[in-house]
């Protein structure tokens, strides 16, 4: 009877592994979706910041074209651009890591659950 019990335990282990992989993939896909939403929010924020910056720059320069103020606004715009680039790079890195993890999960799933089609005769 022990071989039957061993088979039942192995099937139970396989079922737990499969369930764990599916849960992990679901969480990774949720994280990828959340990241996509964050990137969309970042794009919207960047458009708003740029529009506000253009309006403020026009207002300040129309009022008094002070070279110091112009330089300050240019520096501020440069810092803002750098911050947006840094956020985009961080999001790209996170997205890349999520994609890599999904690929690893797929490889593990395939290696564990895809039937071996090689001829063993």
Nearest by Cα to 86 from 15, 120, 78, 67: 78
Residue 119 placed within a domain? no
Residue 117 placed within a domain? no
Better pLDDT: 9 or 107: 107
Residue 54 placed within a domain? yes
Residue 33 placed within a domain? yes
Distance CA 103, CA 28 (A): 11
pLDDT the model gives residue 2: 56
Nearest by Cα to 21 from 113, 94, 89: 113
Query: Could you list the residue range(s) of the whole structural domain that residue 17 is in?
Result: 2-112
Task: Kindly report the pTM of this predicted structure.
Answer: 0.66
Count of domains for the chain: 1
Residue 82 placed within a domain? yes
pLDDT digits (tens, 9 = 90+) for 71-88: 888 888 889 889 999 999
Residue 1 has pLDDT above 50, yes or no: no
pLDDT digits (tens, 9 = 90+) for 2-58: 566 776 777 788 888 888 988 999 999 999 999 999 999 999 998 898 888 888 878
């Amino acid at each position: 009877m022990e071989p039957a019990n061993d088979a039942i335990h192995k099937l139970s282990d396989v079922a737990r592994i499969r369930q764990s992989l599916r849960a992990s993939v679901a969480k990774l896909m949720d994280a990828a979706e959340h990241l996509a939403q964050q990137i969309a929010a970042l794009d919207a924020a960047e458009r708003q910041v740029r529009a506000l910056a253009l309006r403020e720059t026009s207002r300040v320069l129309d009022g008094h074209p002070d070279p110091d103020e112009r330089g300050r606004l240019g520096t501020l715009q440069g810092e803002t651009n750098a911050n947006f680039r840094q956020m985009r790079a961080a999001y790209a890195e996170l997205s890349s890591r999520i994609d890599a993890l999904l690929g690893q999960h797929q490889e593990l799933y395939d290696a564990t659950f895809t039937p071996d089609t090689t001829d063993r005769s």
